[in-house]
């Protein structure tokens, strides 16, 4: 049985999710979301995010992000985001293609935007020559494993709303963030004023499926039509919904994320103790960024595979998942030190 | 346990597919298709369609169609299709949006294109004012449950190639067609000269997932990039691939499709015996189109739900699936006749 | 000096327009429409269409149509139009590309839509699978030279508004229509409830330039941004505006159109008197559609060039322009009859 | 008669161009570019750029850039450009919308890219997650009035071709560049290996119209169809072509550009002599960038209007044009010093 530190999406489905899929596979159920599982899953989301939350399911994270952005922008808009944002560097131009918008990516070193970084860009100076900012998109936890605090999110939401912008959160690893911040989803997202959230499932134990959570229901007005036109309307939707029910109920999301985060701390502390290794980003969730001399890195990759992050800097990314075990980590460290 | 005649996508996953998902859920596996299941699934497709077949997986049928079309056209092209085509009436303009192309839909009464219908449209008369035909897309089995014979497909393929057009087949129900025609997939698709096929899984017993089968590998050149940009690259792809392995091996696709087709014949013959009901399309695969007086239709829908097709004509569509049983049909007919 | 009956856009600029260009070429003037000519031209349009008219200039008719449609639709919308519509057959898929929308083209024989033709299409039956009708676009005068009466336009506008659709008029030859109907622009467009008009200039004596006239100013909200993104913001806009001032003032548009229409009547009556020729559309504006035996047609084309319309039917289109003279027509007829 | 230093596109048409328009306005001429003027204009371009040059006309510079890029890229490509590039900041997202591509804008302080800046971006590391570089686009003269030397262009062309990228030059002010570099267009563009050039007319004395010059004819394959779909096919094209004939013949382009450049040198030297003013970019063509204390700037703007460039830095842009006179400059300086 292969294991790795390559990515949390190399893991499979967690047991509770797999069982939910088995259980949901009974008889017929209305297609395209008109089924009881989907109704129930939406209720579970309301319990987590509040009664205003309007929830829709898609197949993957890229779609959650892009269809949300497209359905809430005009093509002349720009989307303000971090230069490291998944929408900027890992979606092959899906945003530009499907929304027609410019991505206004702001350079930074820790994956985080700040009001100071954003402020000079909230308004288009030269109407109608410049794309008009429409949405701010931040990622929580960031693509560098770092975190926005609750008050940092609130500050960006306030700025967004002051300038009539929408705040979108790419939450591919939102569960890891909530656990790390020791707060509820509602405190982190609903109460800070986030307008819409891509709620990640696949990286935290789902087989497939992500949710889009609108905290301002009026922003969901066109979502279903853009989702269909965006090729993301699942016919047998109950199989996404059933996973989310299992995920939200009984705290599976939290259990999985907490475990992955703890394993990152555990592995990170072991790695930090190795003199040749330099941890390069604060370990806040389930990823470790580290500068590792090439020979050592190759030895480590032979023990358990993981990806280089920025090769020119000898920087690597090591990810833990809901199913990473202490034993694996111990064996991995042992292999390194041999 | 609800059953219905609403659609084959109201059914769940067939047992072999469900078991394959359970079996595939072991440990870690490389993401995005670099996993052993995906390699193996592609081999299974080569066994079915020939060694030239290049296969890629996506989440659903709309994506299989649209990403194929987009990755093999320029936006100034038009796509020639039937007015009933799924891409024309059931994908909310995904083709126009994602490929930027015009859909040149040709009216017909049985869901089928013919060389005669197509011929006047194979060339753009007024360069550069008119969209330039680039692709012919036909559906097998059609959206009206009818079938192209093998030689009809060949005739359209020959016409396409004579005018440097690509022939795409939307095969959402391709298995039902192969069974009904009593031919192999290779005879129907590869040997007739079809260039690329959307191979349906979900409507015939998969939980989710469709395959795009390129019979001319050079047409696959850009597919992976358009798939990513089209938001359809599955991270945990092994779970699509594993389903297809189970589906193709041991003839599950055939068993499922044959059963659904037989149930349609069985139900169709019972319905045809009811004087008020008029079967309106030839029953060739797993759907029955029928004119039914409204009061009777309502009584029938109460027994087992199904959809109106064209309300102004009192036409309805009744679909069978891999899991439709004779008993259900008997009960349904009994309920009608009561 | 070549003349022809090929198209009204083979003609040049009429003398008043040319003089206006010469006069406007004095010194510097603010770019992008912030110039006095543009302000003045907009006022001239208000005099013609009423004080609510909001007017914007673009380079050509395709742009006038497409940017108007794009700035007033979502990509999941469909645009209802005639199968003969310029946006459907002569803009190389610009609508599909730039607006992302489906064109729902309705077959007809005289270039005209009717409430009866439109009614079955005003609502999408199967949300969210089908493109949602957003705009009805008609052409006045039509691409077949025919006309909507004022009350026919009103009937379509009423239908549009009943179903919350926008009515757009492609008025590439709107001046010819107004003259033929013997009504004011305001009676034909503003008072019937048309929402937005592409007002043609180039085919009636301008060098280049078309106007978009919004009768409901709120529909113009995003136009300037879509125009810029649509590559149609003229830097030296005064040169479009100056042409329109000359065109609207002193009735140049009317004089030019009336002359072209009269020449079509004159030529049409001469042609109708030739036994081999069969006039195939009612001559209402400045075009003549006629069935002509091929040998005769070739003889005629040698005398003065004109285009075949539908070659399979031996149908041809003969266009007159603001500068067509009776002498040319007499010579042409003489050459035919020789 | 208003004059200004706002922009070279506040100027009108130069006398030779205006006369060419008057002369071209004789009788009928085939539409859409099948006219003798267009044939002749294309020949003039071949004289300037070499016999391989394939030339097409569009209305404006944004279109010249974007249609060129779109017709030579796939939507999954990225376009490498300067952060200051017109396509990046002044076209309202036209590239993202019409080509569907990502703009990969590289920060710099003088408007220029270098091989060193470009090299890290020529390949997409993470196929298929990242947009794949397809085109490098540079601007000559740059948006900051600076220049690439001939050998600098060659170096970028060599880099582009080494990595199978296309080199596009946005030449909105290419004439000013050629004059400043004291070289021929052929030396600067054809001989350096540039693949395609947007050749500017409007900013140097045309009324409207830009040319796209393909130095590799095979890259022009789809241009005419993308131009039509891009709403940029001029029906009365002779009026663009005639301007370009006058512009290229008898060295009008050179005379106009040389004059504008000289006026910038003259004005720049006067401004440089004013102690409060700090020239902030090298004056190489027809623009002056300068840091000016706000009160002085306002006094100057009252004398002759010009635009702020970056307000936070008190930086302004002063442009000269083909019709700027020494007298105006002297008066302007006098007014400042009063």
CB distance B173 to B204 below 8 Å: yes
> Which among C76, C89, C107 has CB closest to B130?
C89
Instruction: Give the model's pLDDT for residue C2.
Output: 64
Instruction: Give the model's pLDDT for residue A338.
Output: 83
* Share above pLDDT 70 across residues of chain D, in percent, rounded to a whole number: 99
Res. C330: pLDDT tops 60: yes
Instruction: Give the model's pLDDT for residue D2.
Output: 64
What is the per-residue pLDDT across A122-139, written as a single tens digit (0 to 9) for each? 998 899 999 999 999 999
What is the per-residue pLDDT across D176-196, written as a single tens digit (0 to 9) for each? 999 999 999 999 999 999 999
Handedness of CA B303, B309, B314, B320 (dihedral sign): negative
Question: How many CB atoms are located within 10 Å of the residue A201 CB?
Answer: 28
User: Rounded CA gap, B218 and B205, in Å?
Assistant: 30
Res. D39: pLDDT tops 60: yes
Q: Which residues in chain B have Cβ-Cβ distances shorter than 8 Å to A31?
A: 6-7, 9-10
Q: Averaged over C205-221, what is the pLDDT?
A: 98
Residue D49 banded pLDDT, cuts 50, 70, 90: very high
**Contact criterion met (CB < 8 Å) for A91 and B231:** yes
Q: Averaged over A269-273, what is the pLDDT?
A: 97
Residue B338 banded pLDDT, cuts 50, 70, 90: confident
- D165-199 as b/e, with b when 16 or more CB fall inside 10 Å? bbbbbbbbbbbbbbbbbebebbebbbbbbbbbbbb
Q: Which of A210-214, B40-44, D80-84, D121-125 has the lowest mean pLDDT?
A: D121-125
What is the per-residue pLDDT across B174-212, written as a single tens digit (0 to 9) for each? 999 999 999 999 999 999 999 999 999 999 999 999 999
Non-local (6+) Cβ contacts of D186 within 8 A are: D48, D49, D50
In the sheet that B77-82 helps form, which strands lie side by side, from edge to edge?
A: B54-58, B210-214, B196-199, B166-171, B132-139, B77-82, B102-106
DSSP A305-320: --EEEEGGGTEEEEE-
| Nearest to C202, CA basis, from D235, D227, D239, D210 | D235
> Which among A76, A91, A96 has CB closest to D101?
A96
Q: Which residues in chain C have Cβ-Cβ distances shorter than 8 Å to B90?
A: 126, 129-130
Q: Averaged over C237-249, what is the pLDDT?
A: 98
Q: Averaged over A286-312, what is the pLDDT?
A: 95
Residue C3 banded pLDDT, cuts 50, 70, 90: confident
Instruction: Give the model's pLDDT for residue D284.
Output: 96
What is the per-residue pLDDT across B160-180, written as a single tens digit (0 to 9) for each? 999 999 999 999 999 999 999
What long-range pairs does A306-313 form, CB within 8 A, spacing at least 24?
Answer: A306/A4, A306/A5, A306/A6, A307/A6, A307/A7, A312/D120
Instruction: Give the model's pLDDT for residue C31.
Output: 97
CB distance B83 to A218 below 8 Å: no
Q: Which residues in chain D have Cβ-Cβ distances shorter than 8 Å to C21?
A: 18, 21, 207
Res. B2: pLDDT tops 70: no
Q: Which residues in chain A have Cβ-Cβ distances shorter than 8 Å to D89?
A: 129-130
Res. A335: pLDDT tops 70: yes
**Contact criterion met (CB < 8 Å) for B129 and D228:** yes
Q: Averaged over D33-50, what is the pLDDT?
A: 98
Chains that touch C (3 or more CB pairs under 8 A): A, B, D
Q: Which residues in chain B have Cβ-Cβ distances shorter than 8 Å to A61?
A: 235
Res. A2: pLDDT tops 80: no
Residue C230 banded pLDDT, cuts 50, 70, 90: very high
Q: Averaged over D147-171, what is the pLDDT?
A: 98
Residue B283 banded pLDDT, cuts 50, 70, 90: very high
Supply C207's token pair: 């060098």
Res. A278: pLDDT tops 70: yes
Query: Which of the residues C225, C231, C232 would you substitute to probe the A interface, choosing the one with the greatest number of A C-beta atoms within 10 Å?
Result: C225
Chain D residues contacting A, CB < 8 Å? Answer: 75-78, 89-93, 96-97, 100-103, 107, 120, 126, 128-131, 312
* Share above pLDDT 90 across residues of chain C, in percent, rounded to a whole number: 97
Instruction: Give the model's pLDDT for residue D137.
Output: 98
Q: How many residues does chain B have?
A: 338
Beta-strand ranges (E) seen in chain A are 54-58, 77-82, 102-106, 132-139, 166-171, 196-199, 210-214, 278-279, 287-291, 307-310, 315-319
Quote the crossing angle between the two packed helices B238-248 and B252-272, to the nearest 10°.
Answer: 70
CA-nearest residue to A128 within chain C is: C225
Q: Which residues in chain C have Cβ-Cβ distances shorter than 8 Å to D10?
A: 28-31
What mean pLDDT is reported for chain B?
Answer: 97
Q: Averaged over A50-76, what is the pLDDT?
A: 98
**Contact criterion met (CB < 8 Å) for D128 and B222:** no
Res. D171: pLDDT tops 70: yes
Supply C311's token pair: 């070659």
Distance from the Cα of B254 to chain A's closest Cα (Å) equals 20
Chains that touch D (3 or more CB pairs under 8 A): A, B, C
**Contact criterion met (CB < 8 Å) for B10 and A30:** yes
> Which among B74, B224, B229 has CB closest to D222?
B74
User: For D48, what's the count of Cα atoms within 13 Å in the CB-facing half-sphere?
Assistant: 31
> Which among A2, A26, A231 has CB closest to B29?
A2
Q: Which residues in chain D have Cβ-Cβ distances shorter than 8 Å to A107?
A: 107
Distance from the Cα of C212 to chain A's closest Cα (Å) equals 17
Distance from the Cα of C81 to chain B's closest Cα (Å) equals 14
**Contact criterion met (CB < 8 Å) for A224 and C75:** no
Instruction: Give the model's pLDDT for residue A77.
Output: 98
> Which among D128, D222, D228 has CB closest to B225?
D128
Q: Averaged over C75-88, what is the pLDDT?
A: 98
Q: Which residues in chain A have Cβ-Cβ distances shorter than 8 Å to B28?
A: 1-4, 6, 10-12, 321, 323
Can you name the residues that pair with A58 across neighbouring β-strands?
A210
Res. C86: pLDDT tops 80: yes
Res. A151: pLDDT tops 60: yes
CA-nearest residue to D307 within chain A is: A126
Chain A residues contacting C, CB < 8 Å? Answer: 74-76, 100, 127-129, 132, 222, 224-229, 233
């Amino acid at each position: 049985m292969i294991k790795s530190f390559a990515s949390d999406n190399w893991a499979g489905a967690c047991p509770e999710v797999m069982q939910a899929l088995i259980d949901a596979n009974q008889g017929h159920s209305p297609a395209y979301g008109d089924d009881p599982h989907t109704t129930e899953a939406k209720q579970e989301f309301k319990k987590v995010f509040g009664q205003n939350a309007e929830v829709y399911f898609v197949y993957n994270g890229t779609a959650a992000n892009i269809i949300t952005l497209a359905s809430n922008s005009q093509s002349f808009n720009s989307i303000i985001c971090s230069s490291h944002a998944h929408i900027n560097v890992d979606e092959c131009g899906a945003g530009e293609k499907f929304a027609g918008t410019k991505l206004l990516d702001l350079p930074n070193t820790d994956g985080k935007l700040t009001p100071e970084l954003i402020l000079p860009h909230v308004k288009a100076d030269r109407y109608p020559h410049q794309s008009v900012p429409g949405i701010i998109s931040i990622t929580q936890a960031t693509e560098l494993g770092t975190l926005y605090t609750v008050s940092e999110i609130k500050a960006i939401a306030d700025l967004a709303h002051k300038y009539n912008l929408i705040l979108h959160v790419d939450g591919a690893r939102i569960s890891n963030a909530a656990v790390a911040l020791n707060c509820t989803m509602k405190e982190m997202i609903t109460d800070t004023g986030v307008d819409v959230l891509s709620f990640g499932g696949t990286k935290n134990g789902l087989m497939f499926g992500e949710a889009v959570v609108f905290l301002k229901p009026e922003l969901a007005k066109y979502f279903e039509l853009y989702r269909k036109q965006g090729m993301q309307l699942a016919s047998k939707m109950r199989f996404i919904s059933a996973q989310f029910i299992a995920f939200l109920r009984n705290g599976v999301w939290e259990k999985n994320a907490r475990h992955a985060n703890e394993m990152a701390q555990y592995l990170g502390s072991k790695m930090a103790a190795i003199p040749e290794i330099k941890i390069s980003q604060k370990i806040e969730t389930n990823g470790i960024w580290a500068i590792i001399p090439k020979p050592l890195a190759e030895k480590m990759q032979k023990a358990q595979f993981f990806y280089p992050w920025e090769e020119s800097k000898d920087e690597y990314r090591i990810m833990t998942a809901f199913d990473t075990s202490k034993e694996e980590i111990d064996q991995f460290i042992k292999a390194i030190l041999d």
